[in-house]
Structure 1
């Protein structure tokens, strides 16, 4: 299994592609990462700010 670089894919996106990019990088399904993100939103913390920062900072897949 080859590791892919962390980037936002052009396919399988729902909003910005951040969860799909993380899922591809770590070999998970995008819906698993999206579910974990939604569950993390129940906890206090800057989840939305981190998501927005990753949306801006992660390069788009070529």
Structure 2
């Protein structure tokens, strides 16, 4: 049996530490917010535009309720 289709849009979370991006991703996919935050922090030791991507999502994702 497959999981039901989710219709929840990706938005920033009200449960936010920094802009609510990680919390919004966690809510959208049914993950724990702490796990998403930890994955982001660990990914920052790798080369790449992680911080720029996070800031872009903070600007582009709508606030909850919109």
TM-score w.r.t. length of structure 1 = 0.92
Of structures 1 and 2, the one scoring higher in RCO (CA 8 A, sep 6+) is 1
Q: Which residue of 2 aligns with 1:46?
A: 49
Cα distance in 1 for residues equivalent to 2:57 and 2:47:
19
Cα distance in 1 for residues equivalent to 2:58 and 2:51:
10
Q: CA RMSD in A?
A: 1.1
TM-score w.r.t. length of structure 2 = 0.86
Structure with larger Rg: 2
Q: CA deviation at 1:9?
A: 1.8
Q: Give the ranges of 4+ consecutive aligned residues of structure 1 lying more than 3 Å apart after TM superposition.
A: none
